[in-house]
């Protein structure tokens, strides 16, 4: 059985400063192998304690039963603040609740159906752009995911001048931004400078300026009654039902920045790893290519027929969750597994380790899409599957992603065949999301299909 690649584990014991260095380079390979078996692990620094939690009961407590007692940690958010400001991804308490009251209606119920034509067009455009030969697949999926975001948010394709500039600048930001800033490890008051890399600050400022030009233009269209009925218009015209307030211009820039990060970066990561898995397991690739023949005409109902594609995408999200770790903070003293957890302790929730936990998932490191149709698999999913987080803070775009991913995957497999490139085994590392250290390289060739299977 060929196993999908995963990072090498470090020795069980290293010095604090060695750990910090490893952590800043890649949080995945900085962790010891025992975390794939442990229910809870404690990590000590001179300034705070952190606890990685894999116990489903504690996860349920933190994310679902008492989420207000475990707000998002400010230590981790420091590194993302130059780009994301006070976006819904970083805020807590009443500010976060107000933001979600305004944002959530844009992603409810029939809105998925409304955005489907834009997703379909972006998927067709991805197929048109892809050429035969060896391709770096993360570039392909990043382009496709960015196209989906701009079409659904602002009704513009990725070829739009501003959209193209945001995409280009964001790639620079993704490469220059470590997942943690020094403030994650040291006690630093709010007034102290955070020592962001100059390139990181400049790129974040440029991205936010470009986003502001899009939101300003949309505000003018809304005022003139000429705005398209897309996600940006919906969010900008929705008032908080509790206060009647709408997002200010600055707040809207914050939210669009996180929509782009969460909706583009995470989808690109998940889709790239799924395509790699299809090349690694060609028998599954052929099953999905056969299923994809139902893709004829832009009809949302077709998604109910892409069952295998959905299960494969779920399994890829299990093995390669785009967001590998989330951090909460204990707002009061707790006791977990008979250990005292002090107020201010960091609670690390790791989808990466949870999804591969050897005491929860049978054959944890194996690619097994069929597990999702078994009672055993469904039980594991309830207890230990959170690619989009869980509870009140579950990603508002989770349903969006579970349409976008299987759709683009099926479109690509209907049109192309993907093969491994000899000597190019991707090594997972954590940047803003789980990516491959030197990219994911696959050989792409057009499928030999008859006229009845044309993608037109």
Please list the pLDDT of the chain residue by residue as tens digits (456 residues).
Answer: 789 998 887 666 766 666 666 666 677 887 889 999 999 999 887 778 899 999 999 999 999 999 999 999 877 666 678 888 999 999 999 999 999 999 999 988 678 889 999 999 999 999 999 999 999 999 999 999 999 999 999 999 999 999 999 999 887 776 655 555 444 544 444 444 444 567 777 888 999 999 999 999 999 999 999 999 999 999 999 999 999 999 999 999 999 999 988 888 899 999 999 999 999 999 999 999 999 999 988 999 999 999 999 999 999 999 999 999 999 999 999 999 999 999 999 999 999 999 999 999 999 999 999 999 999 999 999 999 999 999 999 999 999 999 999 999 999 999 999 999 999 999 999 877 899 999 999 999 999 865 444 443
* Cβ-proximal residues to 68 (8 Å cutoff; 6+ apart), any chain: 93, 331
Q: What is the pLDDT of residue 1?
A: 74
Q: What is the pLDDT of residue 80?
A: 78
Q: Identify the domain containing residue 343 by its residue range.
A: 16-453
Q: What is the pTM for the complete model shown?
A: 0.91
* Residue 50, in any domain of the structure: yes
* Residue 388, in any domain of the structure: yes
304 HSE (CA, 13 A, CB side)? 4
* Cβ-proximal residues to 405 (8 Å cutoff; 6+ apart), any chain: 267, 270, 271, 274, 313
In 352-453, beta strands by DSSP E: 416-420, 428-430, 434-436, 441-446
Q: Are 322 and 434 in contact (CB under 8 A)?
A: yes
Distance CA 316, CA 311 (A): 9
Q: Residue 327's closest CA among 37, 19, 29, 80?
A: 80
Q: What is the pLDDT of residue 78?
A: 67
Q: Are 404 and 118 in contact (CB under 8 A)?
A: no
Distance CA 407, CA 126 (A): 11
* Residue 376, in any domain of the structure: yes
Residue 390 sits in a domain of what CATH number?
1.10.630.10
* Residue 395, in any domain of the structure: yes
The dihedral of CA 19, 23, 29, 34: what is its sign? Answer: positive
The two beta strands, 428-430 and 434-436, are antiparallel
Reduced to 3 DSSP states, what percent helix, strand and coil does the chain have, rounded to the nearest 5? Answer: 55, 10, 35
* Residue 4, in any domain of the structure: no
* Residue 6, in any domain of the structure: no
Q: What is the pLDDT of residue 193?
A: 43
Distance CA 319, CA 311 (A): 12
* Residue 10, in any domain of the structure: no
Nearest-5° Cα angle at 317, 62 to 357: 60
132 DSSP 8-state letter? S
Domain count, the chain: 1
Coil, strand or helix at 293 = helix
Q: What is the pLDDT of residue 111?
A: 82
Q: What is the pLDDT of residue 334?
A: 96
Buried b (16+ CB within 10 A) or exposed e, 73-110: bebbbbbbbbbbbbbbbbbbeeebebbbbbbeebbeee
Measured between its terminal Cα atoms, the distance across the chain in Å is 38
* Residue 168, in any domain of the structure: yes
Q: What is the pLDDT of residue 195?
A: 47
* Cβ-proximal residues to 327 (8 Å cutoff; 6+ apart), any chain: 50, 72, 73, 75, 76, 346, 347, 348, 349
């Amino acid at each position: 059985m060929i196993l999908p690649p995963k990072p090498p584990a470090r020795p069980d014991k290293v010095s604090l400063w060695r750990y910090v260095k490893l952590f800043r380079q890649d949080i995945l390979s900085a962790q010891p192998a025992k975390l794939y078996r442990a229910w809870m692990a404690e990590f000590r620094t001179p300034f705070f304690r952190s606890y990685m939690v894999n116990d489903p009961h504690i996860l349920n407590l933190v994310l679902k039963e008492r989420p207000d007692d475990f707000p998002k940690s400010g230590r981790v958010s420091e590194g993302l603040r130059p780009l994301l400001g006070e976006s819904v991804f970083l805020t807590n308490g009443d500010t976060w609740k107000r933001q979600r009251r305004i944002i959530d209606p844009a992603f409810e119920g029939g809105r998925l159906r409304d955005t489907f034509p834009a997703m379909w067009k972006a998927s067709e455009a991805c197929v048109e752009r892809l050429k035969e030969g060896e391709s770096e697949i993360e570039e392909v999926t990043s382009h496709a995911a960015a196209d989906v975001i701009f079409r659904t948010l602002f009704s513009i394709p990725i070829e739009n001048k501003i959209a193209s500039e945001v995409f280009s600048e964001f790639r620079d930001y993704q490469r220059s931004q470590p997942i943690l800033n020094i403030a994650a490890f040291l006690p630093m008051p709010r007034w102290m400078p955070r020592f962001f890399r100059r390139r990181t600050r400049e790129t974040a400022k440029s991205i936010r300026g470009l986003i502001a030009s899009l939101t300003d233009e949309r505000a003018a269209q809304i005022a003139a009654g000429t705005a398209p009925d897309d996600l940006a218009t919906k969010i900008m015209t929705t008032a908080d039902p509790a206060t009647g307030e709408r997002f200010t211009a600055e707040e809207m820039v914050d939210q669009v920045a996180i929509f782009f990060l969460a909706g583009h970066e995470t989808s690109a990561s998940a889709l790239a790893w799924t395509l790699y898995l299809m090349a690694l397991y060609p028998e599954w690739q052929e099953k999905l290519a056969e299923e994809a023949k139902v893709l004829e005409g832009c009809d949302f109902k077709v998604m109910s027929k892409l069952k295998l594609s959905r299960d494969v995408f779920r399994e890829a999200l299990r093995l390669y969750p785009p967001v590998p770790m989330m951090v909460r903070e204990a707002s009061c003293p707790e006791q977990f597994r008979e250990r005292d957890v002090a107020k201010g302790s960091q609670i690390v929730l790791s989808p990466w380790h949870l999804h591969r936990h050897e005491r929860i998932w049978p054959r944890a490191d194996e690619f097994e899409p069929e597990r999702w149709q078994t009672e055993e698999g469904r039980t594991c999913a309830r207890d230990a599957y959170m690619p989009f987080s869980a509870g009140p803070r579950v990603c508002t775009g989770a349903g969006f992603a579970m349409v976008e991913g299987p759709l683009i995957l099926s479109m690509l497999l209907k049109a192309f065949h993907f093969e491994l490139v000899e000597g190019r085994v991707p090594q997972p590392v954590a940047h803003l999301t789980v990516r491959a250290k030197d990219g994911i390289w696959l050989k792409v060739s057009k499928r030999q299909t008859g006229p009845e299977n044309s993608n037109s």
